[in-house]
Structures are given as C-alpha cells and as structure tokens.
Amino acid sequence: MLVEPKSMDECVYFTNRSLNEKGKIKCWVFKEKCVKCGKELMGKPRDPKTGKPRIRAKEYECPGCKYNVSEEEYENTLTASIQYTCQYCGNIGELQVPFKRKKVKIFNEDEMKGKTIESLRFQCGKCSKNLDVTRKMK
Ligand SMILES: [Zn+2]
Ligand SMILES: [Zn+2]
C-alpha cells in the first residue's frame, strides 16, 4: 500500500484528476531529504525578508546546509506514487515510478489535434495502455 501524504507541505507535487468518465489519477511526490547533509527536507528557497518559500523559484534548497540544486535535477531523483483507475479498462491499481517527465504526443480532443506535452507516463497494470499525468498547461 502506498503512503498517502497528510498535508501538501510534504509534497513537491500533488494532483487528483479525472481522465474521462471512468478514469482517474491521483499522483503525489514526497519531498526528500538533502543528499548532502541528510537532515532536512529540500524545499523552495525562502525569501530572506519574508521567510516565505519562493514558489516560482526554479531551484530547491536545503534549509540546513543551503545545498542548492535545480528544480529539474532534484525532481528527477524523486519517486512519484500513483493511484489510478484506468480510463480504458477500468482497472484500479497503484504503483511507484521515478518522477521523470518526458515529452509525449497526446491527442487533444478539444482542439482535435496532436500536441507534444510533458507527462509522467506509466502503463496500466492490466491492459498495458499508456496513462499520462500531464503537466498542467499554463
Ligand atoms: Zn543539507
Ligand atoms: Zn487498463
């Protein structure tokens, strides 16, 4: 069984969404400890004046030793936990995959055309079709 987060503060990423009438995906990624000192959870760097995390910063920082890595480098070392109901076969499953987004082609039904977007892709444990946790469009 996967461990579910108790609060958003524990996660670098959390989403709970529907894929279509029957499919849905819940996906979360826990923050992990600093690889340098191993004591503190990495987080977005804090503003020295307000003490609030700079959400939009493209980097993560250890609050203890100030070790700093780019967002991409840090996220690539993390593990995503996924609970899903397959949109094709209705299979309910859960799994863990490396939190590595890849560029994938997806057919957008609203716009009736193919699109390349970043996605965390995995396969249904039953029908083996691709399921995507796509990055939200801005
Ligand atoms: Zn550290
Ligand atoms: Zn399936």
- Neighbour-count burial for 63-99, b at 16+ CB within 10 Å, e otherwise: eeeeeebeeeebbeebebbbbbbbbbeeeeeeeeeeb
Q: Each residue of 118-130: pLDDT tens digit?
A: 999 999 999 999 9
Question: In the prediction, which pLDDT does 34 show?
Answer: 95
What average pLDDT does the structure give for the chain? 92
d(C-alpha 42, C-alpha 69), whole Å: 9
Residue-wise pLDDT tens digits, 49-93: 998 989 899 999 999 999 999 998 999 999 999 999 999 999 999
Task: Please give the span between the terminal C-alpha atoms of the chain, in angstroms, as a whole number.
Answer: 33
Distance 105 CA to ligand 1 centre (A): 38
CA of 82 to the centre of ligand 1 (A): 28
Q: pLDDT band at residue 107, thresholds of 50, 70 and 90?
A: confident
